[in-house]
Amino acid sequence: MSGKHILLVDTEKNILFTYKNALEDEGYYVEFTDNASDALRKISKQSFSIVITEFNLQGSNALALINFIKENKPYIQVILLTARPLSMPAYEAIQDAGILDYLMKPFPITKLLIIIKKGLKRSDFILEKTRLESKFHAIKSYTLSQKQQFSDTLYFFKTLHNEIKRSERFKHSLSLLCINMPLASGDTQDCVEQIGSLALSIVRETDIATRFNGTCSIILPETSKTGVAALTERMRKKIADYVAHINNSLTINVAGDLHFTSGSFPDDIDFINHYMETLRERLNTITSEDTHHDG
């Protein structure tokens, strides 16, 4: 488990073995080396949470090692050891590099253990933050592509009309799911897009979606009342899981304002017909506006 992996770097092998044994007694998995080049190789290939290194290494100091870690694996926390006080330029350099802490030799192992525990918490926090940021950017990218997957209102209307006729003729299941969302404007635009895309990420390729007047509507062919209820629950859970990991009040508010309604053929044909009529009025309004504009 990477959360307990520690790398020791020191030119004094007796110190390496002393620290190694003490840390392994505490349940940590420990690797060690006596030079910077081998330490760089290990860090490049493996996953450590903590690196404990002597400042003065053979032929160089630890600054190059610390800078490599911060540029390539910033979640790794560095604890610096030194046998003598650092010069002011060296001290400023390690502070600029963002080390976790540094200790003057000799020191009690209990002090090192306290710093390690603090470092593990910080490492876990950085990894979780990075994971959430990656997830957020993935959702943003999905949102941009998803914008092209919404059908225009006229195509959606015709498709729903045809699906109703098909269900009537062949006695097939058909459901319509509507997600009423806050009207996107200003700061809420991205939040609405993210939540809408999350909901649509679990529908089938054969399902058709459109948006108008703050409602995201989805035609679900061959889907019964039980099926649309299960899909709605999956959407709610996916959105709730996402919101639970995002510290964004706007997104939380948008998710809290969602309202799911659905109807299935033939039991809820009145609901579907009412929706069709609303959609028809919307199309007539658009047509009238276009005609007036052309005139």
pLDDT on residue 201: 78
Q: What distance in Å separates the CA atoms of residue 264 and residue 223, rounded to the nearest whole number?
A: 8
- The arrangement of secondary structure in 150-294, i.e. its CATH architecture, is 2-Layer Sandwich (3.30)
- In percent, how much of the chain has pLDDT > 90? 24
pLDDT tens sequence across 194-235: 777 777 778 877 788 888 777 888 999 889 999 999 999 988
pLDDT on residue 98: 79
The whole-number average pLDDT for the span 103-125 is 89
Selecting from 3.40.50.300, 1.20.210.10, 2.40.50.140, 3.40.50.2300, what CATH number does the domain 2-132 have? Answer: 3.40.50.2300
Burial class for 20, CB neighbours closer than 10 Å (0-12, 13-18, 19+): middle
Say if residues 262 and 229 touch (Cβ distance below 8 Å).
yes
List the chain domain ranges. 2-132, 150-294
Q: What distance in Å separates the CA atoms of residue 193 and residue 182, rounded to the nearest whole number?
A: 11
**pLDDT(6) > 90:** yes
Say if residues 174 and 185 touch (Cβ distance below 8 Å).
no
Q: What distance in Å separates the CA atoms of residue 284 and residue 244, rounded to the nearest whole number?
A: 41
* 243: its two tokens: 């919101």
pLDDT tens sequence across 92-103: 787 777 788 888
**pLDDT(145) > 60:** no
The chain-wide mean pLDDT, for the chain, equals 82
The whole-number average pLDDT for the span 251-280 is 87
Say if residues 78 and 120 touch (Cβ distance below 8 Å).
no
Burial class for 42, CB neighbours closer than 10 Å (0-12, 13-18, 19+): middle
Q: What distance in Å separates the CA atoms of residue 46 and residue 43, rounded to the nearest whole number?
A: 5
pLDDT on residue 3: 53
pLDDT on residue 286: 64
Fold agreement between 2-132 and 150-294: no
Q: What distance in Å separates the CA atoms of residue 135 and residue 133, rounded to the nearest whole number?
A: 5
pLDDT tens sequence across 193-203: 777 777 777 88
Q: What distance in Å separates the CA atoms of residue 100 and residue 59, rounded to the nearest whole number?
A: 24
Nearest CA to 93 out of 64, 119, 71, 56 is that of 64
